[in-house]
Amino acid sequence: LIADQLNYNCDDERTMAKIRVAQLNQEQFNAYSTILHRVKDKEAIGNNLFFLDGPGGTGKTFIYITLCHTLWGEGSVILCVASTGIAALILPGGRTAHSMLKIPID
């Protein structure tokens, strides 16, 4: 599982992150920056739960994917997990929680 998540080209990921960050609007950038800061803050362990809420088309998934590219570009392990198959399809390397974490369906 972890080996799969380290199979990214950091240079390509940094380039993709830079392109995507430049496309964020101010509100998206604020969310992105806040989450990224907390993820990197070693003192904030246990306080890193974020919930992005908004109507369709407001950029929630764009922020998630931008965060993934940023952190992959730094060599971090990022697991893109979703509750449904459809949601998992739109995340890079995304899988359902049941599939990735081997949670029994019964």
**Residue range 13-72, pLDDT digits in tens:** 999 999 999 999 999 999 999 999 988 887 766 767 788 899 999 999 999 999 999 999
Return the bridge partners of 95, or none: 81
The token pair at 100 is 């990735």
> In 1-106, which ranges are continuous DSSP H helix?
2-5, 10-23, 26-40, 60-73, 85-89, 97-101
pTM for the full predicted model: 0.82
Instruction: Domain ranges for the chain, please list them.
Output: 2-77
**Residue range 59-97, pLDDT digits in tens:** 999 999 999 999 999 998 888 888 777 787 788 888 787
CA-nearest of 106, 21, 1, 27 to 70 is: 21
